Amino acid sequence: MRYSKLFVPTLREVPAEAEIESHKLMIRAGLIRRFASGIYNFLPLGYKVFRNIENIIREEMDKQDGQELHMSALIPAEVLKESGRWDVFGPEMFKLRDRSNREFCLGPTHEESFTVSIRNEVRSYKALPQILYQIQTKFRDEIRPRFGVMRSREFIMKDAYSFDADEHGLDVSYKKMHDAYCAIFDRCGLDYTVVQADSGAMGGSGSEEFMVKSAVGEAAIAYCNSCGYAANDEKAQCVEPRTEIVSTKSIEKVKTPDIGTIDDLCNFFGCQPALFAKTLIYKADDEVVAAVVRGDRELNETKLTNLLGCVELEMADAETVMKVTGAQVGFAGPVGLKIKTIADLEVKHMADFITGANETDYHYSNVNLSDCNIEVFWDIRNIVEGDKCPVCGEPVKIDRGIEVGHIFKLGTKYSEALGCRFLDENGKEKPMIMGSYGIGVARTMAAVIEQNCDEKGIIWPLGVAPYKVIVIPVNTSKEEQMEMAERIYKNLLSLGLEVLLDDRNERAGVKFNDADLIGIPVRITVGKRASEGFVEYKLRKDEESQDIAEADIMSRIADDIGMS
């Protein structure tokens, strides 16, 4: 392609709307443009990279016996009502009605569509397993769309669903998808970690996320360098401490006027947050419960949801708190509380601690477990750096990650709800065992940029680069340079390579800046030494360039690009 014909509107200025590097660069390099909040359009260069990633995904999915198909984005409400998810999704789902007032949604994910499509069509164990996938648009009205295509409201996902006759079959399908994902992210040039993820209380026997380590990642990952354990913060298990309980004091009620926050309490009592047992009141579906964690800890809502087996979990409003504790928010505690109370495992080892007194403006100090009504002790807090690894006991580290992919053993959750059954070899009817597997294509692209950029722009890994080589004649009015550049360009094209010829009548500096910004892996500059038959050869990722003979270009490129 000739640069003069390209529609690549590059920008010198850093766009005000962008916070993170990949977002800034995607706009500056003319890959995407914002259309509305959380909605982006891909321009030609961006779409080329996008399709390269899509093709990598296709190739690796097909290698693992995945079959591509395409489902509609518009989903009739009935199928989501059948699975029970119509109401669960809440405001994240875009709902709409047709002219006859029938309800639909714009699919946020497609478990139901695939399950409904396969039931009635596949009836025998002989036709299993099946791994079906699509690369298709999803819609989620995210509360906080941000970072460009990293978290957008319309995005393209590769979603796959496996259908098996038994658990062993699911394990095999799951492993295939795991392997496909590793191959995909390797080929995209990503440095990633596979971490354990939550698979929910009902159904689902395993789940892993593919995390690209990055300071701008929205997910936290706990990992252990000693044994290799890695899990996201929703899942990462906190181990029960072994400390002995030594209680020396007896409970005492203390007036704490207008002091409701942990910080204020620390000042008031002159102690550390770890001496408090913080009590949070939650609404779990229709039940109101209390959850107690140490004052310096964060409650993990996923762990609490799983323990309670509820669908929705939300903090109780002030009115409910008043009703169940008899006090304003900030004064709840496990002493004398009448509702179901769950405490974190750490609380089990606390002594002489401080809690709310279930009376506005009062706390108890020197509280011990014998004073409290705690029904269950369970791991319900977030892991923190330095906590013991649940596998080997060494201290864990915490990093941030961008979730680019997610693989999930669903079990029979959808096949049972939607009646997706088959006859086994004994003629017995059984629900199919399912898995689901997703990759965000544009989020993957953004993650590639996060890990492969410098102050000048993007440094595309070869596998996804929109063009592999850019040929730059320094001075387009010099016939000798143009002739040589054209010749090199055509030779490379004839090898089937994607090549750009920067034939613009611009200063060399401008061309170099653009080439660096859009991140083309190999740059061949045809300048003064053209008369001697030499060009300047430079890789985007390297600082140095080298003068090489025109005749040696092909072999150099073959070496660098890995062509045979």
Decide: is 110 part of the binding site for ligand ATP (CB under 6 A): no
Q: Which of 52, 83, 109, 341 binds ligand ATP (CB under 6 A)?
A: 109
Q: Which residues are registered as beta bridge partners of 341?
A: 290
Q: 């395993």: which residue's tokens?
A: 206
Q: Which amino acid is at 477?
A: S
User: Minimum CB separation from ligand ATP for residue 280, in Å?
Assistant: 23
H or E, element range at 212? strand 206-213
Q: Which stretch binds ligand ATP (CB under 6 A): 372-380, 403-411, 486-494, 542-550?
A: 403-411
Binding mask 355-394 for ligand ATP (x = CB under 6 A): ----------------------------------------
Site for ligand ATP in 411-440 (CB under 6 A): 438-440
What is the CA 109 to chain-centroid distance, rounded?
15
Reduce the secondary structure of 152-197 to three states and give it as a string.
CCEEEEEEEEEEECCHHHHHHHHHHHHHHHHHHHHHCCCCEEEEEC
Site for ligand ATP in 436-495 (CB under 6 A): 438-440, 443
Q: Distance (Å, rounded) from C-alpha 289 to C-alpha 295?
A: 18
> Nearer Cβ to ligand ATP, position 333 or 440?
440
Decide: is 40 part of the binding site for ligand ATP (CB under 6 A): no
Q: Which residues are registered as beta bridge partners of 94?
A: 106
Decide: is 403 part of the binding site for ligand ATP (CB under 6 A): yes
> Nearer Cβ to ligand ATP, position 438 or 457?
438
Decide: is 352 part of the binding site for ligand ATP (CB under 6 A): no
- Total residues interacting with ligand ATP, rule: CB under 6 A: 15
> Nearer Cβ to ligand ATP, position 142 or 560?
142
Q: Which of 235, 297, 303, 406 binds ligand ATP (CB under 6 A)?
A: 406
Decide: is 152 part of the binding site for ligand ATP (CB under 6 A): yes
Q: Distance (Å, rounded) from C-alpha 200 to C-alpha 208?
A: 12
Q: Which stretch binds ligand ATP (CB under 6 A): 152-160, 223-231, 274-282, 427-435?
A: 152-160
Torsional sign, CA 478, 479, 483, 489: positive
> Nearer Cβ to ligand ATP, position 12 or 144?
144
Q: Which stretch binds ligand ATP (CB under 6 A): 45-53, 122-130, 319-327, 397-405?
A: 397-405
Q: Which of 155, 223, 534, 537 binds ligand ATP (CB under 6 A)?
A: 155
Q: Which of 280, 404, 448, 484 binds ligand ATP (CB under 6 A)?
A: 404
> Nearer Cβ to ligand ATP, position 155 or 174?
155
Q: Distance (Å, rounded) from C-alpha 193 to C-alpha 190?
A: 10
| Residue among 15, 32, 45, 36 at smallest CA distance from 460 | 45
Angle of helix 167-187 relative to helix 44-63, nearest 10 degrees? 140
Decide: is 24 part of the binding site for ligand ATP (CB under 6 A): no
Q: Distance (Å, rounded) from C-alpha 338 to C-alpha 355?
A: 15
Torsional sign, CA 179, 184, 186, 187: positive
| Residue among 316, 330, 339, 318 at smallest CA distance from 359 | 330
**Could you tell me whether strands 499-501 and 469-473 are parallel, antiparallel, or unpaired per DSSP bridges?**
parallel
Q: 């069509």: which residue's tokens?
A: 121
User: Minimum CB separation from ligand ATP for residue 149, in Å?
Assistant: 6
User: Minimum CB separation from ligand ATP for residue 57, in Å?
Assistant: 12
Decide: is 142 part of the binding site for ligand ATP (CB under 6 A): yes
Structure tokens at 77: 């409400």
| Interface with ligand ATP (CB under 6 A) | 109, 140, 142, 151-152, 155, 157, 403-406, 438-440, 443
